[in-house]
Amino acid sequence: MEFGWAPEQEQYRERVKAALDELLPADWDETYVPESYASDLQVHFSREFCAKLAERGLLVPHWPREYGGNESPDWEHFILGEEMKGAGEPRGPQYMNVNWIGPTLMAYGSEAQKDQHVKGIASGKVIWCQGFSEPNAGTDLAALRTRAERDGDHYVVNGSKIWTSYARTADWCFLLARTGPTRKDISILLVPMDTPGISITSFPGVIKDGHLNEVFFTDVRVPVQNRVGEEGEAWKIVTYALSYERVGVPRYHTGLLALELAVEQLKAEGRWDDDPIVRSRAGSIAARFEGARLLTYRVIDQRVHRLPATTDANLSRIASLEAVSDLMNFLGEFVPDCLAGGDPLLEDYYRINIPAGITGGTNEIQLDLVAQRGLGLPRG
Amino acid sequence: MDFQLSEDQEALVSALQSILQDHAELPQAERFSYSYFNADLQRLLGESGFLGAARDIGPLEAALVTIETARLPVLVETAATGLVAPMLLPADGPVDGPVALIAGGAIGKAHRNLPIARTALVDLGEDVAVLTIDPADVEPVASILAYPYGRFRAIPDLAAARRLPGAGARLRQWWRVALAAEVAGAAQAALDFTLDYVKQRQVFGRPVGSFQSVQHRLVQCHAHAQSTYYLALRAAWSGEAVDADCAASLAQQGVQKLLFDLHQFHGGMGVTTEHLLHFWLYRIRALQAEAGGVHGIGLEIAGRMWPAATQATGADAAPQIAEAG
Ligand SMILES: Cc1cc2nc3c(=O)[nH]c(=O)nc-3n(C[C@H](O)[C@H](O)[C@H](O)COP(=O)(O)OP(=O)(O)OC[C@H]3O[C@@H](n4cnc5c(N)ncnc54)[C@H](O)[C@@H]3O)c2cc1C
């Protein structure tokens, strides 16, 4: 057992940081980050940025060589993710592409789909959105109602999706639609977002722009060859896809960076040295993030050792979320101006994290999974 | 980075577990005790080398020993004896144990493990005093905190004691690692005990553990115990003060939740001494305020991570106390 980075892992982190220094514009922190990673500005920027990352072998290094990757070790992929998130996620929505959409298509896509989409993703120029949630189907995704009815060599899609991040700027949608009567009769369609019959309404919210979209499908014709896998196979495929996203965002990393910004501000305003309560609270929160960090690293380590997946990934999310909630409360109490004209980077941190317990699987479901599958408690 | 125990570490833990299994039983006469120190097991652990792990192998292995022994309802003292003392006194050879750890500012109060101790390490802020303890000088103090507690019949003469100049910070660092390891083991054991209970105890025709509100809170306790476990081991591995602070801070931050929830889910049974729960819970409670407590350790973390120009690291947490005696 040991807890240090190997020299090559440290070098890799430096390489990623150097690429970020080189590729991000000088006004990145001032202009781009405050807009947040789902904003149109950042999504457009990501096309440029990811293409350059791809040239440097830093977009899909963990992928198999046949798809343009370098089969890089799990830790390197993870370090890359930490640094990208820490920098404000200049990959925009493309982190989804490289983390799970690409790998899912490699596993389940047809040859034509792999040829088009896996290559497209590896080029860093294509934006995807994820069309899962609906107004009446979020946590209980199997309740979704968007229908895809067969009409010759096309499906005709009708219904609506909601909370579809990046929908306004996306080229493609990874869509879940009902193709039969039972709860499990759901299929995956790859839908070009410029297909006639798709319309998008965005609405404002307390989080940053770019996430809150409703996408309406009215008689949208999608070729049958755009289906991934067989009809009714969506569950199996989505379960596979989500296994790639199990640990989620490295929230301890972004959290500690935000905490540091808050401390700098408190120091500059003379509210640090003389206030032991503020300092001890900040120190306690740092400890919580460190705990969450180790629970997350444990999951990567299990992957490195090729151990079977457990609910430890869910546990790491739960621990991270508790620390995030502590930090948001700390900001609200001691750095309240971050939500009223203060540091825009802190505002961005705060607002991105408002739904931290909801996105990527709501916290209560994470808790259920650990309780029942991890601790063996009986279902209610 | 490698979170798996090495073969040698696995072997150490399983050898230890097999000894512990044979001695973990509470004697009939101790069934209703608040704490039970097993002197025979303590001796056996010393003789079979488990208290020498820090010196012979390393602090990570000593922390593993502490975690394992903390899972038992019976008490043995491995944290201060097997981890803190050897890290503080590397040149001394085996210290006469058990060892008690004492905050110098509270020397007149009752101390954990003092009635069983042969040596005490006293945190004087900057320095450490090493005391040889004569059991005749210690008056036992009754406590529900699940360690033997006792106070000095007469305040010892610290000026005459052996002194380790400048060793205070190092003492607190390893004290923090040790307490985190002890909380990790005890919390895990208390949680396992509770899981067994809520799986079999039926209410309204279903197990207590099938209710979502119970499940979710148990998972949060589990997350706490697991984080504490890895933080303690990382701190033992790295020897970095800030890692020790984080481990102890997290261990202590979770105490409120662990004590409340785990008591809660045992209903009335959990407040009787014939149910084993209190052995673990009141060890955890006892460790809550040690080596700085959440507030003091939080200040230390802040001082190390974001030092202020005017603030000496740890100044708040460890005031230099006036020379006693
Ligand atoms: C910023 C943001 C971005 C998003 N991006 C996307 C996207 O790009 N694509 C996409 O498809 N979706 C996206 N989502 C949707 C997200 O996946 C859903 O919000 C989430 O699955 C929860 O669904 P819901 O909002 O319908 O809440 P509901 O399912 O109505 O649940 C509400 C709350 O009820 C509680 N609850 C639900 N079920 C249980 C249970 N079994 N036990 C106990 N409590 C329960 C939980 O507290 C839950 O948070 C996004 C959401 C947000 C906020």
CATH of the domain at A16: 1.10.540.10
* Mean pLDDT calculated for residue range B188-214: 98
What pLDDT shows up at residue B320? 36
Does A333 lie in the same domain as A262?
yes
Contact A357, A363 (CB under 8 A): yes
The Cα–Cα gap between A210 and A337 comes to 24
Enter the DSSP assignment of A266. Answer: H
CATH of the domain at A252: 1.20.140.10
Contact B292, B300 (CB under 8 A): yes
Does the residue A241 lie in any domain?
no
How many domains, in total, are found in chain A? 3
Q: Give me the residue spans of the domains in chain B.
A: 169-324
Does the residue A259 lie in any domain?
yes
* Mean pLDDT calculated for residue range A157-171: 97
* Mean pLDDT calculated for residue range A210-219: 97
> What DSSP string runs through A309-339?
P-THHHHHHHHHHHHHHHHHHHHHHH-GGGG
* Mean pLDDT calculated for residue range B157-176: 97
Q: Is the pLDDT of residue B323 over 90?
A: no
What pLDDT shows up at residue B112? 98
Q: Give the predicted TM-score (pTM) of the model.
A: 0.96
What pLDDT shows up at residue A183? 86
> What DSSP string runs through A122-142?
HHT---EEEE--BTTBSSSGG
Q: Name the residue of chain A whose CA is nearest to B209's CA.
A: A377
| Structural domain boundaries, residue A323 | 246-374
Contacts of A297 in chain B (CB under 8 A): 1, 3
- For residue A371 and ligand 1, the question of a CB distance below 6 A is answered with no
Does A263 lie in the same domain as A363?
yes
Does A339 lie in the same domain as A252?
yes
Tell me the CATH number for domain B169-324: 1.20.140.10
Q: Is the pLDDT of residue B325 over 60?
A: no
Does A261 lie in the same domain as A320?
yes
* Mean pLDDT calculated for residue range A144-159: 97
Q: Is the pLDDT of residue A163 over 60?
A: yes
What pLDDT shows up at residue B308? 78
The 10s digit of each residue's pLDDT in A216-239 is: 999 999 999 999 999 999 999 998
Does A269 lie in the same domain as A357?
yes
- For residue A372 and ligand 1, the question of a CB distance below 6 A is answered with no
Q: Is the pLDDT of residue A250 over 80?
A: yes
Does the residue A178 lie in any domain?
yes
Does A253 lie in the same domain as A198?
no
Mark which of A126, A141, A175 sits at the end of a domain.
A126
Mark which of A96, A126, A156 sits at the end of a domain.
A126
* Mean pLDDT calculated for residue range B292-306: 98
Does A141 lie in the same domain as A121?
no
> If you measure from the C-alpha of residue A252 to the centroid of ligand 1, how many angstroms do you get, rounded to a whole number?
22
| pLDDT class of B317 with cuts at 50, 70, 90 | very low
Q: Is the pLDDT of residue A75 over 50?
A: yes
Q: Is the pLDDT of residue B314 over 70?
A: no
The 10s digit of each residue's pLDDT in B52-96 is: 999 999 999 999 999 999 999 999 999 999 999 999 998 888 899
What pLDDT shows up at residue A246? 75
The ipTM is 0.95
Does A145 lie in the same domain as A211?
yes
* Mean pLDDT calculated for residue range A146-175: 97
Q: Is the pLDDT of residue A177 over 70?
A: yes
| pLDDT class of B313 with cuts at 50, 70, 90 | very low
Does the residue A379 lie in any domain?
no
> If you measure from the C-alpha of residue B41 to the centroid of ligand 1, how many angstroms do you get, rounded to a whole number?
53
Contacts of A379 in chain B (CB under 8 A): 210
Does A366 lie in the same domain as A348?
yes
Kindly determine whether residue B298 and residue A319, on different chains, have CB atoms separated by under 8 Å.
no
* Mean pLDDT calculated for residue range B187-216: 98
What pLDDT shows up at residue B31? 84
| pLDDT class of A328 with cuts at 50, 70, 90 | very high
What pLDDT shows up at residue B309? 65
Kindly determine whether residue A364 and residue B216, on different chains, have CB atoms separated by under 8 Å.
yes
Does A88 lie in the same domain as A196?
no
Residue of B5, B306, B310 to mutate, interface with A, max A Cβ within 10 Å: B306
Kindly determine whether residue A3 and residue B219, on different chains, have CB atoms separated by under 8 Å.
no
The 10s digit of each residue's pLDDT in B92-134 is: 888 999 999 999 999 999 999 999 999 999 999 999 999 999 9
Q: Is the pLDDT of residue B316 over 50?
A: no
Convert A68-104 to b/e letters by CB count within 10 Å (16 or more is b): bbeebbbbbbbbbbbbbbbbbbbbbbbbbbbbbbbbb
Mark which of A95, A111, A126 sits at the end of a domain.
A126
Choice between B184 and B26, residue whose per-residue pLDDT is larger: B184
| pLDDT class of A360 with cuts at 50, 70, 90 | confident
Interface of A with B in 204-223 (CB under 8 A): none
Is B225 at the interface with chain A, CB within 8 A?
Answer: no
Q: What is the mean pLDDT of chain A?
A: 95
Q: Name the residue of chain B whose CA is nearest to A315's CA.
A: B223
Does the residue A113 lie in any domain?
yes
Does A364 lie in the same domain as A251?
yes
What pLDDT shows up at residue B319? 35
Contact A54, A60 (CB under 8 A): yes
